Amino acid sequence: MDNELTYRIALPILFISFIAHRGYYSRKFRPSTENTLKQRQESLSSRLANLLSLPGLIAVVVYVVYPPWMAWASLPLSAGLRWMGVGLALAGFVLLQWSQQALGKNWSDTPRMMKDQAFVSGGPYRWIRHPIYTAFFLIMSAPLFLSANWFIGLVWIGMTVLDVMSRVRVEEAMMMESFGDHYRAYMQRTGRFLPRLSP
């Protein structure tokens, strides 16, 4: 099989897998409105992230169907770097699954505080406050390497950064409001997206 064709097959598989994973958990842990105390309202950055997804999807479809139309933004990446995209995505999915299992019924598709919300500090949450968002960064950086296309990479990474930053601000404010000093102490010993290097 031609190498370029392999990447063109791998890229849509990545997106389909991500959507299917999110869809499964969204159905499994659908929060009730009456059990929700507070949730994130859509912000400018989240709206911009949603807008970026459209050109991102169009660019991916064009690359998959007919790569020469996206050649204007191509990058000279080696096969090793392009396969690194697969490794990043796999690492992201492993972290995503581990994080969601640790959260269990406390998971929500958008930052919210529930009446029966538990403080979770097990699994990857022992070292990182937002491992799901770390997983998003890993998964959504993979298209840059798989497509060897700076436009595709920039759009998906940019969209992820905008969305995650708007989520984190709200999520941490809610956690501090609900769990107070317990959460502040947790913040002191954990990293936001990566483990703290020093205690």
Q: How many CB atoms lie within 10 A of CB 13?
A: 12
* CB hemisphere CA count around 127 (13 angstroms): 11
How does pLDDT run across 116-126, given as a tens digit for each residue? 788 899 999 99
pTM for the model: 0.90
pLDDT tens digits along 148-187: 999 999 999 999 999 998 889 888 988 888 889 999 999 9
Domains of the chain: 3-16+43-107+115-189 (1.20.120.1630)
Q: Dihedrals φ, ψ of 191, to 5°? A: -95, 160
Largest Cα span, the chain: 57
